[in-house]
Amino acid sequence: MSDFFNSGWSLYVAGITIVSLVFCLVLLIIASRRKVMADDNTTGHVWDEDLRELNNPLPRWWAGLFLVTVAFAVIYLALYPGLGSNKGTLDWTSTGQHSAEMDKARAQMAPLYAKFVGQSAEELSKDPQAMAIGERLFANNCAQCHGADARGSKGFPNLTDNDWLHGGTLEKIKETITAGRVGNMAPMAAAVGTPEDVKNVAQYVLSLSGSPHNEVAAQLGKPKFVVCAACHGPDGKGMQAIGSANLTDKIWLHGYGEQAIVDMINNGKVNIMPAQAARLSPEQIHVLGAYVWSLSQTSTVAAR
């Protein structure tokens, strides 16, 4: 596909565009020339004995309108992109226009968000207006992955259960929204050992949360868990500093049961939370972060 982005294709597109405009003008000139083909101004073609084809010139209004459209195309191509990689004299881009419109919208909304700046998550969670704005921001930017009710689904974290991979403070939530996150569980089957060892480790992981498991297999898998402890900790409770999951709380982001755990050990997993800094202003992220924080604070929500 990289071949489509070299300068040759730009020249090809520009050439085709120019040739098309010239062809339109030539076609108009040819069609506008009147050539009498018979004494009675007909082409000589006759149908149904008396139906004759006249050789009248194009109507002037039609020819004029045709010239106007060609002139408009020439002016447009001079001002805007269209001739290959030529940017046009106005240097216009859809990205630039979008950025300008976003900046204008943010400037208009700045007074609305100004009163929320500096307020804590607790204060914002008790402000109906702030929560209404946060809910709308969540619906527009977060619900696609985390669901309209923020309870997530397989592979997408539940934001209402107070179980946080990187921390549930307002600052940590804002950090996640702003810069995004990349979660990487490396394939560990080779480090664990045989396929049977992997199954035993899976049983031990199930035992950490008190889930139904094979106790004998779990005890065999416990020594092998040492390769997992580097990220999840010796007690399996995870480490928020690196975003590793707590394996003791019965919350399963990527599926529950032996097979789901075996698949994770064998194949690993990469999860990406896209950064939202380009879409949302710091003030919007502050309000949105407070809204997300409030979803897991049942006592705070109940007080509103």
Per the DSSP assignment, residues forming a β-bridge with 270 are: 184
Residue 52: strand, helix, or coil: strand
CATH fit for domain 100-180+274-303, picks 1.10.760.10, 3.30.750.24, 1.10.10.60, 2.40.30.110: 1.10.760.10
- The percentage of residues in the chain with a pLDDT greater than 90, rounded to a whole number, is 67
* Whether pLDDT at 224 is above 50: yes
Rounded-to-integer distance, Cα 160 and Cα 298, Å:
9
- Whole-number pLDDT of residue 197: 96
Average pLDDT over residues 296-301: 63
pLDDT band at 168; cut points 50, 70, 90: very high
Quick one: average pLDDT of 168-172?
95
Q: Is 213 annotated as a binding residue?
A: no
Q: State the Cα–Cα distance between residues 118 and 281, nearest whole angstrom.
A: 15
Which residue did the predictor score with more confidence, 86 or 56? 86
Report pLDDT digits (tens) over 58-116: 788 888 898 999 999 999 999 999 888 888 899 899 989 988 998 898 888 889 899 99
- Find where tokens 């990689």 sit: 85
pLDDT at 41: 73
What is the overall mean pLDDT for the chain?
89
Strand ranges, E, within the chain: 42-47, 51-54, 181-185, 269-273
pTM here is 0.72
**Mean pLDDT across 251-255:** 92
Q: Residue 28: its pLDDT value, please?
A: 86
Confirm whether residue 239 is marked as ligand binding.
no
183-192 pLDDT tens trace: 999 999 999 9
Q: Is the pLDDT of residue 196 over 90?
A: yes
Q: Distance (Å, rounded) from C-alpha 136 to C-alpha 121?
A: 17
The reply to whether domains 100-180+274-303 and 184-273 share a CATH topology is yes
pLDDT at residue 6 greater than cutoff 80: no
Give the Cα separation of 257 and 101 in Å (integer): 49
The pair of three-digit structure tokens given for residue 264, joined into one six-digit string: 């994770």
Does the pLDDT at position 304 exceed 60?
A: no
Residue 145, annotated as binding a ligand: yes
Q: Which residues of 255-281 are buried (b: 16+ CB within 10 A; e: fewer)?
A: eeebeebbbbbeeeeebebeebeeebb
Strands 51-54 and 181-185: unpaired
Superfamily of domain 184-273: Cytochrome c-like domain (1.10.760.10)
pLDDT tens digits, 107-146:
888 898 999 998 999 999 999 999 999 999 999 999 999 9
Confirm or deny that 24 is annotated as ligand binding: no
Looking at the chain, the whole-number percentage of residues with pLDDT higher than 70 is 94
Q: Where are the domains of the chain?
A: 2-79, 100-180+274-303, 184-273
Q: Is the pLDDT of residue 35 over 80?
A: no
